[in-house]
Copies of this chain bind each other. A is one copy, B any other.
């Protein structure tokens, strides 16, 4: 017998899931939660095996809930359920310890299968999600390769200066903040222009933002 809890803010959806799962003899829905905080509260008084967790929850979102549940109840397997096949959602919640990620356009058979798989400690993803993960990995590699080709090394100091430029600080203000000379900041600016192949401040900001260079 697998004990479940469902966390989703749409009553109609939770009702539906519960109705489907009642027809499975080895599945038992122990609780229903409509926001992230309810999940945390519920788990203090109840023991479950698998948590069906919507990514977009009020109060505490699914990613935060996932993090806390994994930390506090490592035995609970988490199956993320979402409307959105978004790469950021998928990777984030998987990084926080969710075992599976399925979309809401999944049929009842696949849902039941996913629950069993996750309960067994293995991962389960919808086809579309698998593709998204692959694309994400490919993009990251390409992205990093491009980064490495065009901007081999932005030094630590240069990155500080770049961040302050993007935050609309003038060269003098940056000099004051970093306790260095105006001329030194100008030197860093100049180096950045050269390394990033930009013509002026506008290009500096655009290229930096387009390439997520502030992480």
Contact = CB atoms under 8 A, between A and B. Distances in A.
Contact of A15 (B16, B165, B202, B204): B16
Contact of A12 (B105, B200, B204): B105
Interface in A68-114: 81, 83, 103-108, 111
A168 B13 contact: no
A65 B164 CA distance: 44
A105 to B, nearest CB: 5
Contact of A166 (B23, B83, B165, B202): B202
B11 A20 contact: no
Interface in A10-27: 10-13, 15-17, 19-20, 23
A29 interface: no
Contact of A16 (B17, B165, B200): B17
A16 B20 contact: yes
A107 B12 CA distance: 5
A81 B168 CA distance: 44
Q: In the A-B complex, list the 3 residue pairs whose CB atoms are closest, starting with the nearest.
A: A16-B16, A19-B19, A10-B104
